[in-house]
Structures are given as structure tokens and as C-alpha cells.
Amino acid sequence: MRLDDEAKQKPDGEHIIKEYNRTKSLGDETRRKMFNILAADITEKNGTSPPRQVKEIYARGIVALFPYLSDPFSKNGYERYYDGESGTGYLAWTIKTIQRGWAKEGG
């Protein structure tokens, strides 16, 4: 299965792909949806504290699937999504937000 086919099967995945194909970008709401989908997938498959390598693989996948979202000012183009050296980026932030929600729910 191709990566974009798999993405289309996720909730809102097809909308995200269509918006990107139409605009070569993602609006704020669509970008948030994408990161929520990715973070949910990461934590579902790897638990509440996924390894750095997993988050980096997903960050690389973002720029592979959406090349116009690559950051030309970073070393590899995906560090804004996850930077393994500092442990920061949109994916790390979204996963921490999910963890906080679980902690508030008591599990």
C-alpha cells in the first residue's frame, strides 16, 4: 500500500491530501488535524512514550508525502515536525498534549 493511500484511509486523511494537492500547502486547521492523526497513530502503535526514532520516521514521512511542507532552512527539512536532537517539534508537542489529556482522565 502506498503512503498516500494509507493516509486517505484515516479520518480526514482524504481531505488533507486533497487540500495539499490543490494548494501545495495546508491551512492551520488541516495541519492540526494531520498532527492529531499522526500523534494518535504513533501512540496507538508505540504507547504513550514513543521512541525518538519513531517520531523521526513520521517527521520524515511528512516531507516525503508533502514535499512542499519541507523546511528549506533546516538541515533535513523535517526538524520543525520532530527534531531528535532537541526532542521538539509539532509531533512532540502534539504527543505531549495527548499525554496531558490522558493524565487528566486518570489513565
Query: In this predicted model, what pLDDT tens digit does every residue of 85-105 receive, in sequence order?
Result: 999 999 999 999 887 776 676
Domain boundaries, position 17: 11-103
Confidence of residue 26 (pLDDT cuts 50, 70, 90): very high
For residue 54, is it within any domain?
yes
For residue 88, is it within any domain?
yes
For residue 6, is it within any domain?
no
For residue 60, is it within any domain?
yes
The number of folded domains in the chain is 1
Q: How far apart are CA 83 and CA 74, in angstroms?
A: 10
User: Is 3's pLDDT higher than 60?
Assistant: no
For residue 5, is it within any domain?
no
Paired residues of 59 in beta bridges: none
For residue 31, is it within any domain?
yes
| Number of helices and strands in the chain (H, E) | 5, 0
Whether the pTM exceeds 0.75: the reply is yes
For residue 2, is it within any domain?
no
For residue 32, is it within any domain?
yes
